[in-house]
Copies of this chain bind each other. A is one copy, B any other.
Amino acid sequence: MPSRFVITLGCPDRTGIVARIASFLAEWGGWIVEAGYHTDPETGWFFTRQEVRADSLPFGVAELRERFARVADELGSTNWRVSDTSERRRVVLLVSKEGHCLHDLLGRVASGELDVDLRAVIGNHPRLRAITEAHGVPFHHVPFPSGTDQDAEDGAFHEVRALVEGHDPHAIVLARFMRIVPPEVCEEWAGRALNIHHSFLPSFAGARPYHQAYARGVKLVGATCHYVTPELDAGPIIEQDVTRVDHTDAATDMVRKGRDIEKIVLARGLRAHLEDRVLVHDKRTVVF
């Protein structure tokens, strides 16, 4: 696919925003191939995402960014971005022992569906090393304390941070990492760290959601892909889905059926994030 520049912007709503951006692009011959606009009436905030054919503009992404800065400034936006689809997205995965999300993402990369630069997989358990390396992806095992040794936990997270930062990733994916990320790491990874939680949040936050779901007798189980924030399982939701269960499903069946939803929800959420389709406003997301 030919390269495209993606502009995303949020700003206070007023008349003329679409005209201002579109005229700016038209002036330089910019060919918009996809455009999304949204106004949130409750907050009076305007959001847009536009994809422009790179070859329709007489300059590159750096100059577009520089020139667009003035437009964004005029519109009062402090929350805009210009990116280039020809820059491959760098991704780091964080895993533990459960492999279904990892297997799924590796398969999507291998089959060409997910065209990313999968830089590394970091595991707090060594179990998933072999399959990761079989796909030609480096695996780092960072042991975590089994108990509540805070110093050891901090030390392990320190090592994870260092490994992650070395790759300057567009996305840090917690693919069933099963550790609570400390607030300062959440801060550092803000807007880049995605978690997959195995319930339809806000139901069943925290540990063992399928067992909570079983105990409550719900008729659907789900999964939620959200940005990681200091408050556990409370970050802005990117994507959710559910699947039907019934009384014949034991908690272990719910786990099995739920995993298919986790895989799909994570894959959709990650794709949306990497294509710069997700704009966060307060605790909610706009997903173009």
Binding site for B on A (CB under 8 A): 14-20, 22-23, 25-26, 29-42, 56, 98-100, 103-104, 106-108, 110-111, 113, 131, 134-135, 200-204, 215-220, 222, 236-237, 239-242, 244, 246-248, 250, 256, 259-260, 264, 267, 283-287
Contact = CB atoms under 8 A, between A and B. Distances in A.
A186 B23 CA distance: 42
A218 B240 contact: yes
Nearest to A28: B15
B18 A35 contact: yes
Interface of A is mostly: mixed
Counted per complex, copies of this chain come to 4
Contacts of A236: 217
A242 B239 contact: no
Nearest to A27: B19
A285 B99 contact: no
Given A18-B22, A22-B23, A39 B30 contact: no
B237 A219 contact: yes
Contacts of A30: 15
A285 B38 contact: no
B19 A26 contact: yes
Given A41-B250, A256-B113, A202 B217 contact: no
A213 to B, nearest CB: 9
A217 B104 CA distance: 26
B287 A247 contact: yes
Contacts of A41: 33, 250
A247 B284 contact: yes
17 contacts: A15-B30, A15-B56, A17-B32, A18-B26, A18-B35, A32-B39, A40-B247, A100-B108, A103-B106, A103-B110, A103-B111, A113-B256, A200-B200, A200-B220, A216-B237, A220-B222, A242-B242
Contact of A220 (B134, B240, B247): B240
Contacts of A256: 113
Q: Which 4 A-B pairs have the closest CB atoms?
A: A103-B107, A217-B284, A19-B26, A134-B134
A205 to B, nearest CB: 10
B287 A246 contact: yes
B99 A110 contact: yes
Contact of A39 (B34, B241, B284): B34
A17 B135 CA distance: 45
A162 to B, nearest CB: 29
B15 A19 contact: no
A120 B237 CA distance: 41
